Structure 1
Amino acid sequence: MTPRADPLTIEVVDLIGTVVARYHEEYEHAAAEHSLTGTQARVLHLLSVGPQPMRKIAQCLKCEPSNVTGIVDRLESRGLVERRPDPADRRIKLAAATTEGARTAEALRTSLNFAREPLGRLTVAERALLKQLLQQMLGVAPERAE
């Protein structure tokens, strides 16, 4: 039997759910302003970080590689993505953002006011603590200060 969550944990989970829902709503709106679906925008963001094989994109999206093929096809037809051979294994095709695709991904990222405005009400120390706590929750190693 799973132990019941305490009231504070339940409240925090509800607040996280609200933040996630508002983020997705704004992300979909920002994507639509670029004539993209939310999923297309997410793929474009992944590819703006660097070229990716279709299987890896599918893993990130938690979907079948065949779904990714259609998404990449639509992005490619708009000149936002291109396919290229993997230098390490020429049998594998990588999807990569074009210059225009990278520009669009950056414009999308910077247009997300929902997260920026509420975070702006926090001090630098509070934002740093929030970042650290989120990294801890996700099991992500904190960045080291150089």
Structure 2
Amino acid sequence: MATPQKTDRPGAGRPDPLTLEVVELIGDVVARYYADFDEAAAEHTLTGAQARLLSLLSLQPLPMRKLAQKLKCEPSNVTGIVDRLESRGLVERRPDPADRRVKLAAATEEGRRVARELRDGLRFAREPLAGLSDEERLGLRDLLRRMLAA
């Protein structure tokens, strides 16, 4: 009877070869996703950072500090990105109804339209995911959620 292969557990020492391969594949997926996202952004004369910020704001208005945390950058960088998107009519600043001292950045109707087009323009994962069954995609989604929750 074959013994099961040891899997990598937090604090268990060196990762096994399978874990290293999975980590490498995740890195490749992330790199391909960002390259595709940057290409879709360029079609709208946006930088990758501008497109990511616009995509976040198309889901809900957010304070600048929260945007900086989500984008993993300095609040002053977010201010510049919001300024450029605001000058193009894609975002606006508005007071936070819960605390009028706080300004929220929010996508305009035009900004939400561009964000939809950006999502629709992402081609990298569309075909490979379409080749998976519903059950496989659900399994992949659930595994990714588990990884992110850990």
- The alignment's TM-score, normalised by the length of structure 2, stands at 0.90
Q: In the alignment, which residue of structure 1 is the partner of 2:123?
A: 113
Alignment of 1:115-134 (within 5 A): 115-134=125-144
Q: In the alignment, which residue of structure 2 is the partner of 1:87?
A: 97
SS in 2 for 1:113: coil
Offset of residue 71 of structure 1? 0.2
SS in 2 for 1:83: strand
Offset of residue 2 of structure 1? 6.9
Q: In the alignment, which residue of structure 2 is the partner of 1:143?
A: none
- The one of 90, 97, 101 equivalent to 2:111 is 101
Structure whose alpha-carbon radius of gyration is higher: 2
Give the distance between the partners of 1:27 and 1:55, measured in 2 at CA.
Answer: 23
Q: CA RMSD in A?
A: 1.3
Give the distance between the partners of 2:52 and 2:12, measured in 1 at CA.
Answer: 35
Offset of residue 110 of structure 1? 1.1
Q: In the alignment, which residue of structure 2 is the partner of 1:4?
A: 14
Q: How many residues align?
A: 140
Q: Which runs of 4+ in 1 moved over 3 A?
A: none
- The alignment's TM-score, normalised by the length of structure 1, stands at 0.92
Give the distance between the partners of 1:17 and 1:86, measured in 2 at CA.
Answer: 37
Alignment of 1:27-66 (within 5 A): 27-66=37-76
Q: In the alignment, which residue of structure 2 is the partner of 1:24?
A: 34
Give the distance between the partners of 1:77 and 1:127, measured in 2 at CA.
Answer: 39
Q: Which runs of 5+ in 1 are unaligned?
A: 141-146
SS in 1 for 2:13: coil
Q: Which runs of 5+ in 2 are unaligned?
A: 1-10
Amino acid at match of 1:66: S
Q: Identity over the aligned pairs, expressed in percent? A: 69
Q: In the alignment, which residue of structure 2 is the partner of 1:76?
A: 86
